[in-house]
Structure 1
Amino acid sequence: MELARLTTEQRNLQSMNMDQMSTEEILRLINDEDKKVAFAVEKVIPQVEMAIERISEVLSNGGRLFYIGAGTSGRLGVMDASECPPTFMTPPDMVQTVMAGGNNAVFESVEGAEDNEAQGATDLDVKGITEQDVVVGITASGRTPYPIGALKYARGLGAYTISLSCNENPLISSFADCPIEVVVGPEVLTGSTRMKAATAHKMILNMISTAVMVKNGKVYENLMVDVCANNHKLKERAKRNIMEITNVSYEKAEEILQQTNYQVKPAIVVIKTGVSVQEARVAIEKCNGYVRTAIEKLS
């Protein structure tokens, strides 16, 4: 009965006759419901902002960000964390996901793993978490034992805790310094939180990782200047970024990038200021990774 009262478990009145709908009707129904997600996310922007400010501070001081979840929630964390190194050249351990059932659960369901609260704490403990880190517990229902156990443990150590759920006043919020409750309403397919709930959480995780990296100097204008250019596509993107920012030719962008081992930041500084690659790297480091600040200091 407790579970049945959750918004995420209630029946959607718009889809009561879904089994009798045409394919187009089903698609339009799902699309109409998905349109509501962005508005639900908009309502929690103040809470997301609070989370981002703290995460940015923690990462800039050498701390780490952990996403904790089970099932779809954990997989969303894996998706976001795994994109940080190639997109922003972050160390692999800066943004991590701890998932109920371990890595195998990314690809197939590990039944019962989410119900073990103690295991959430144990799995987080293995990571050597300290008060210098941030932990984000992700659960659509807000009552999943695994991330709750992790948040309890993290909070006990003094780490900053954030919860991400899709119900009002869920249990997990009581263990979070920053609770984010994005209420998207009942799913088209009752209880299938891989749909609107997961979409809302993916949108918020996009906001978190992107805004945090912008605040930590990983972006110049709206371009990825810490991209890890280790394949043809990313090398070409790096060249285009250099050309956009400095107005040099394709050939010149390629020449400078070869000198910087395809690191975009020092390439920008070299072209903008005329200093050597080594001088550019030193300036960027002194400016905590902020390209714009490094250019201003050298100009």
Structure 2
Amino acid sequence: MRKYTKITEKPSPYTELEQMETASILQNINKEDAKVAKSVSAVIPQITILVDELARRFTEGGRLFYIGAGTSGRLGILDASEIPPTYGLPYDRVIGIIAGGDKAIRKAVENAEDDMEQAWKDLKEYDINEKDTVVGIAASGTTPYVLGGIADAKANGILTAGVTNNPGSPLSVAADIAIEVNVGPEFVTGSTRMKSGTSQKLVLNMISTALMIRIGRVKGNKMVNMQLTNVKLVDRGARFLAEELKLEYQQAEELLKKYGSVKKAMDAYGNKKD
């Protein structure tokens, strides 16, 4: 295994935090946060490879699984849970799994992340197969739950990727595609829910959004497959239709309610015009 420096555990460049004024604390946190987007931009080539592979596999019925523990696991679940309402895909296409199960979303589950065999057990509950992709998320790159899941997935012919904040970590070595976002030491030493977590959120946003665009869930720049689950979204959908089809708002709203989705309404209206 390659030697690597655990950047996420390096001391913060700031000391005596408890003596700082509130404004100084916030300004310095913001100063550190400003470094994150630049760090993410450096791994776009690796994210590109992953998205292209995902798009190809999705057209064959494949799924995307995120696995992680603690903050990383919660971020995977957050990204996965927003795909159905935003892009209208079923809940079983992008799936987030956290060490310790759903109860770990709100409360830490003791030692859950230390079990190297549990992630594969969790994945097998979904009948995971070679069309699927597993993305392990771990700031440290050493979380046993994630490493075990990635190793088992890879051994079973499944494409794997690792999102980590420690270049050269065991996760980077284990995964087929290594996405290593070096954001530097945290403002509070070792608190990877901060810059590391922010970078992970940005990376997952990029993966899932680019994937949804590539598989046709967006038209132009609009979420034409979003679920119309509240008044705000119905209004947004009606405005999308009115703009796209050059209709009055009321006519667009009636069309939307008739067909139940922006995409279906657009297709139906287009067919009628033809």
Q: Same fold (TM over 0.5)?
A: yes
Residue 266 (structure 1) aligns with: 264
Residue 12 (structure 2) aligns with: 12
Q: CA deviation at 1:105?
A: 0.1
The one-letter amino acid paired with 2:165 is C
The 5 Å alignment of 1:17-32 reads 17-32=16-31
Q: Deviations over 1:111-133 (max 9, x none)?
A: 21111111122212222111110
The one-letter amino acid paired with 2:268 is V
Q: 2:237, 2:63 → 1: CA distance?
A: 27
Q: CA deviation at 1:110?
A: 0.5
Q: Deviations over 1:194-243 (max 9, x none)?
A: 00000000000000111100111111111100001122111111101101
The one-letter amino acid paired with 1:70 is A
Contact 2:161 2:179 in 1 (8 A): yes
Q: CA deviation at 1:270?
A: 2.8
SS in 2 for 1:117: coil
Q: 1:24, 1:143 → 2: CA distance?
A: 35
Residue 64 (structure 2) aligns with: 65
SS in 2 for 1:269: helix
Unaligned residue ranges in structure 2 (runs of 5+): none
Report which structure shows greater RCO (CA 8 Å, sep ≥6).
2
Residue 219 (structure 1) aligns with: 218
SS in 1 for 2:36: helix
SS in 2 for 1:136: strand
The one-letter amino acid paired with 1:191 is G
Q: CA deviation at 1:258?
A: 2.5
Q: 1:258, 1:21 → 2: CA distance?
A: 55
SS in 2 for 1:135: strand
Q: Deviations over 1:116-174 (max 9, x none)?
A: 11112221222211111000000000010001111111111111101000011110112
Q: 1:171, 1:222 → 2: CA distance?
A: 38
The 5 Å alignment of 1:76-225 reads 76-225=75-224
Unaligned residue ranges in structure 1 (runs of 5+): 276-298
TM-align CA RMSD: 1.5
The one-letter amino acid paired with 1:12 is S
Q: Which portions of structure 1, spanning 4 or more consecutive aligned residues, are displaced by more than 4 angstroms?
A: none
The one-letter amino acid paired with 1:98 is I
Query: Identity, % of aligned pairs?
Result: 45
- Name the TM-score, length of structure 1 as normaliser: 0.88
Q: 1:60, 1:18 → 2: CA distance?
A: 50
Q: CA deviation at 1:5?
A: 4.5
SS in 2 for 1:72: helix
Contact 2:67 2:98 in 1 (8 A): yes
Q: Against the structure 1 CA distance between its residues 51 and 145, is the aligned structure 2 distance closer, same or farther, given a 3 Å change threshold? A: same
Contact 2:99 2:145 in 1 (8 A): yes
Q: CA deviation at 1:263?
A: 1.2
Contact 2:8 2:190 in 1 (8 A): yes
Q: 2:150, 2:127 → 1: CA distance?
A: 14
SS in 1 for 2:95: strand
Q: 2:268, 2:126 → 1: CA distance?
A: 39
The one-letter amino acid paired with 2:136 is G
Residue 283 (structure 1) aligns with: none
- Name the TM-score, length of structure 2 as normaliser: 0.96
The one-letter amino acid paired with 2:264 is P
More helix by share: 1
